[in-house]
Amino acid sequence: MKLLEPGAELDGFTIEACIHAGGMAHIYRVRYSQGEHDPGFALAMKVPRMTSGDGAENIVSFEVEHQMLQLLTGPHVPRFVAAGDLDKLPYLVMEYLTGQTLAHWSEAPEPLAVAELASLGAAMATAAHSLHQQNVVHLDLKPANVLVRPDGQVVLLDFGLSCSALYPDLLAEQLRKAVGSPAWMAPEQVVGVRGDPRSDIFAMGVMLYQLATHELPFGEPRTAGGLRQRLWMDPRPPRALRPDLPDWLQEVILRCLEPEAARRYPSAAHLAFDLRHPEQVKVGERGRKLKGIGFRAHARRWLKAAGMHYQPSPLPARQVDEVPIVMVALPHRDVSDVTLYSLRQAVARSLGTRPGAQLACVTVISSGQTHASSDDASETGVHRRYLATLRHWAEPLDLAGHQVSYHVLESGDVAQALLAYARGNGVSAIVMGAATHGLMTQRLLATVPIKVAMDAPCTVILVKQALPFERLQEQAAKLKLIWDRDRDAPF
């Protein structure tokens, strides 16, 4: 099919210029021929290639992308405008977005600085999490499909290979073979299993590895045998290629690249959380090693992969919900021992039903508390004191199988600080103490729990004070002793 010429009209759209001629489609800048239809943003038209040498996947991918763009909403996908008749000339018109794709950084002369890499990675994971919450898995994440806007927000592009749990999988039904971009394809995709959101996490791990080292962890295989090697092969540790890379970042990257999906991050929100809070990443052997595993270990992996039966994943949104990030908001003063005990019990119940869930313990202090003149009350000392207090509060919890982190925020508005933290970190549930004032008082004066409950982007669990009478004296004495000691102890 020949290119559309600038100035040509198609179904009320005027072609301005061809901005991309790819293997599966051509993309044009377009506008409405009649100005009164102007949507208020720039437009792009995508027309699939349909020459005699093109495969059926071009049309199937067009149908899939048409389906996905109508389904998806939010700031991380282009807005859908119109579609052409498949029997005449198929096309998709969508929002045209400006920015740089990740290819701009992956092809740069020097690898990215760690801070910039972590920031880009967190923005990318946040965008992927938004898709997964809508029961869609991208399945073709690669640098060319990740657009970074001037404000740093990431938009994902090209949904032709995607899978929605709410619709039939056209690619699986019609092509019945592994589809994707070989360098970034997850092991389960290689054997034909689609729909697991952790496949996107693997692809993001490949991109993080690429941005950090300027190499691809599994090369660019061109055969089925080369693709299958990622089912058991270990990539070379990034720090062996770039010694200045911190161990926490290698830990994050290699966790994304685990051959078994269950050993990767349980959700993209967890990946984004670690990239935003590197000081909270628990570094193990993965992060410290400088050599790959040996021949015998690879042989064992090969035997295991040969006999492994890959199972379709549950609904992506359900899978995300089963491994939430739970935030507990702990007051740093004027808090009763009964409240501290009750919050711990509520958190224990919440984590107990969700293996793999992450706990973020958060307290908010006023900015003035970190500007005292004495050394004991320095900013670092104040933060360390409150972090130690949070850790003591969490000690009695059974945290086996859970990742836990501790955060001291500074703000003059406690409610807004908690809300901003929840929005910025993909928090699924906030646990906090209920106000002790009467309902009439709360109507006249909104308390912090009420403000948070009204504006929170997630579930809020307000915990009422409760403590068994026979344990009241024992718990009160113990908790008060720990709390007062760590709050007031000098450094």
| CATH ID of 9-95, from 3.40.50.10420, 3.40.50.300, 1.10.3720.10, 3.30.200.20 | 3.30.200.20
Q: How far apart are CA 134 and CA 316, in angstroms?
A: 8
pLDDT for 185 equals 94
- What is residue 328's three-state secondary structure? strand
- In degrees rounded to 5, what are phi and psi of residue 352? -60, -25
**Could you give the angle at which helices 337-352 and 472-488 cross, rounded to 10 degrees?**
100
Which residue positions in the chain have pLDDT lower than 70?
1, 51-57, 172-178, 295, 298, 302, 305-314, 368-379, 435-446, 467-491
Q: Model pTM?
A: 0.86
CB 172 within 8 Å of CB 179: no
pLDDT for 86 equals 78
Structure tokens belonging to residue 397: 């919890």
CATH number belonging to domain 324-488: 3.40.50.620
Topology at the third CATH level for domain 100-319: Transferase(Phosphotransferase); domain 1 (1.10.510)
Q: How far apart are CA 262 and CA 324, in angstroms?
A: 15
Query: 209: how many CB neighbours lie within 10 A of its CB?
Result: 24
- Residue ranges of domains in the chain: 9-95, 100-319, 324-488
Rg over alpha carbons for the chain, rounded to the nearest Å, is 26
pLDDT for 131 equals 96
CB 307 within 8 Å of CB 278: no
pLDDT for 390 equals 93
